[in-house]
Amino acid sequence: MTESEFLDLAEATLDAIEASLDRLCEQDMVDVECSRSGNVLEIEFVGNGSKVIINSQAPMQELWVAARSGGFHYRQVNGKWTDTRRGTELYAALSEIVTEQGGAPVVVAP
């Protein structure tokens, strides 16, 4: 994948994550505030002040996630963002992270 293709895909993924969280907020499933600065998406949980940071790393062609539960790196494998260590899919992992940090079960989906 070229750097340009990666950047387009990463941008679309960050947009999809933000849109999914906005929908969950509108449904009163979770109370978060999302903010974007370039290739960084910051998700702040209003109730407890914790954060999840997602950013793209073009040189590595990865998305990095920093959460209370740790730091994770995701790379495209067969059309999905896959954790480079555990093999979990990004949206499934984000669902677990947001559920844990937000205090209510949610599903983050594109």
Give pLDDT tens digits for 56-102: 999 999 999 999 999 999 999 999 999 999 999 999 999 999 999 99
Within-domain flag for 107: no
pTM of structure? 0.92
Q: Report the pLDDT value the prediction gives residue 103, as an integer from 0 to 100.
A: 87
pLDDT tens-place string over residues 9-63: 999 999 999 999 999 999 988 999 999 999 999 999 998 999 999 999 999 999 9
Within-domain flag for 56: yes
Per-residue pLDDT for 3 more than 90?
Answer: yes
Within-domain flag for 109: no
CA angle 77–83–89, rounded 5-degree value: 75
CATH number, domain containing residue 52 = 3.30.920.10
66-72: Cβ within 8 A, 24+ apart:
67/97, 67/101, 68/97, 68/100, 68/101, 69/96, 69/97, 69/100
Within-domain flag for 20: yes
- For residue 59, give its domain range: 3-102
Residue 110 banded pLDDT, cuts 50, 70, 90:
confident
Rounded to an integer, what distance in angstroms lies between the CA atom of residue 110 and that of residue 101?
20
Domain count, the chain: 1
